[in-house]
Amino acid sequence: MSRVEVRKTYKLYLGGDFPRSESGRSYEVLKPQGTFLANAVRASRKDVRDAVVAARKAQPNWASATAYNRGQVLYRIAEMMETRRPELASEVAAAEGKRGSDKQIDTAIDTFVWYAGLADKLSQIAGGLNPVAGPYFNLTVPEPTGVVGIVAPESPSLAGVVARIAPALCGGNATVVLASEAHPLPSIALAECLATADVPGGVVNILTGHKDELVPILASHGDVDAIDITGVEDSAIADTEIAAAGNIKRVIRAEGSPSPTEAIAFMEFKTVWHPKGT
């Protein structure tokens, strides 16, 4: 007699918890061949709102943690992902097919390791002393932009979202992530790694659902400081950018492989002056 497997209910990751949508809605996620894979939560406007609230609440502490500490948390994520590698691999394979899935997991894990090592270098790479013409000490330091909305690319389902979350977290931002709409389940599996990796609740919030419904809400939200439009469809970019202009959001897009530039894109520069005198 074969055993009936216990299937997983995929939920949102919000404020460190795994709630269902307040709306109670879901949508069907399909396998590569087009058959039913699972139901994913179809997050609502209010879920976006709650996620932003959670992110805003969590952000100051995350930003004021030492860079060394943030680096260790990012590294811990990589450790948790490595531990859960079979699970992540099976989620990715289920979503996008077996081919390339292992490589994708490698990339995702290594991306966190890369940014783990960057956290306490960022200020030195991106900041420094400015030689102003006068008796002043003048220092520029990067600081996190704050709450960042991330529209993850549709694929690769796991490495894509990691490539956007990791650089944002590295500098001390909190994130509200809209997962790949077609392949959201690896993002939820990632959330389970995050939840066990010392990432404070609310620092990463992951929503699944329809982008055409959620992106405009995220883009126009007055308490979101920046939006990463890497996963926004070309046809929706103009509208997204118009909505973002409402509160002068920084509009960010992936430029390539891990680099300080990717992390700096999620940061502001603060310059401090002080006279030098006796």
Partner 1 sequence: MAMTEALSMELVERIGGSVDKVGAEERAAALSKRSIKKDSKLWALDLAVRCIDLTTLEGQDTPGKVRQMASKAIRPDPGDPTIPSVAAVCVYPRLVSVAKEAVKGSSVKVASVATGFPSGQMAADLRVEEIRRAIADGADEIDNVISRGALLAGDEQAIFDEVVVAKEACGDVHLKVIIEAGELATYDRVRRASLIAMAAGADVIKTSTGKISPASTLPFCLVMAEAIRDFQHETGRKVGLKVAGGIRSSKDAIRYLVIVNETLGDDWLDPDMFRIGASSLLNDLLMQIHKQRTGIYADPDRYTQD
Partner 2 sequence: MAKWEYSPAPESTDVVDVKSSYDLFIGGTWVAPVSGQYMKTINPATEEVLSDIPVAGEQDVDEAVKAARAASKPWQRLDGSERAKYIFRIARVIQERAREIAVLESMNGGKPIKESRDIDVPLSAAHFFYYAGWADKLQYAFPGMKVKPLGVAAQVIPWNFPLLMLAWKIAPALATGNTVILKPAETTPLTALLFAEICQQIDLPPGVVNIITGAGETGAALVAHPDVNKVAFTGSTEVGRAIQKSIAGSGKRLSLELGGKAANIVFEDAAMDQAIEGVVNGIFFNQGHVCCAGSRLLIQESIAEAFVEKLKRRLGTLRLGDPLDKNTDIGAINSREQLDKIRRLVGIGEQEGAEMYQAPCDIPERGYWFPPTIFTGVSQSHRIAQEEIFGPVLSIMTFRTPEEAVEKANNTPYGLSAGVWTEKGSRILWMADHLKAGVVWANTFNRFDPSSPFGGFKESGFGREGGLHGLEPYVALTP
Enumerate binding residues for partner 2 (CB under 8 A): 64, 128, 130-134, 136, 138, 140, 145, 225, 237-242, 244-248, 250, 255-257, 259, 261, 268-275
The token pair at 171 is 């500098």
Output 3 or 276, the one with its CB closest to partner 1: 276
Query: What is the spatial distance between Cα 101 and Cα 89, in angstroms, rounded to a whole number?
Result: 6
Quick check: 8 and 41 in contact, CB under 8 A? no
**C-beta closer to partner 1: residue 18 or 136:** 136
Q: Pick from 143, 149, 199: which is nearest to 172 by CA?
A: 143
Q: Which does 276 bind (CB under 5 to 8 A by kind): partner 1, partner 2, none?
A: partner 1
Q: Is 34 in the site for partner 1 (CB under 8 A)?
A: no
Asked if the bond preceding 258 is cis, omega within 30° of 0, the reply is: no
Query: Is residue 86 close enough to count as binding partner 1 by CB under 8 A?
Result: no
User: Which among partner 1, partner 2, none contacts residue 53 (Cβ within 5 to 8 A by kind)?
Assistant: none
Q: Which does 239 bind (CB under 5 to 8 A by kind): partner 2, partner 1, none?
A: partner 2
Rounded least distance, CB 152 to partner 1, Å = 49
User: According to the binding rule CB under 8 A, does residue 276 interact with partner 1?
Assistant: yes
Residue 234 gets the label, from left (phi > 0), alpha (psi -120 to 50) or beta, of alpha
If you count them, how many residues does the chain have? 278
Q: Which listed option, partner 2, partner 1, none, makes contact with residue 278 (CB within 5 to 8 Å by class)? A: partner 1
Please list every residue from 256 through 275 that binds partner 1, using CB under 8 A. 275
What one-character DSSP code corresponds to residue 42? -
Q: Going residue by residue from 127 to 166, which x/- string records binding to partner 1, judged by CB under 8 A?
A: --------xx------------------------------
> For the chain, first and last CA: distance in Å?
86
Q: Evaluate whether 242 touches 220 at the Cβ level (below 8 Å).
A: no
Consecutive H or E run containing 123? helix 122-126
Contact footprint for partner 1 (CB under 8 A): 135-136, 275-278
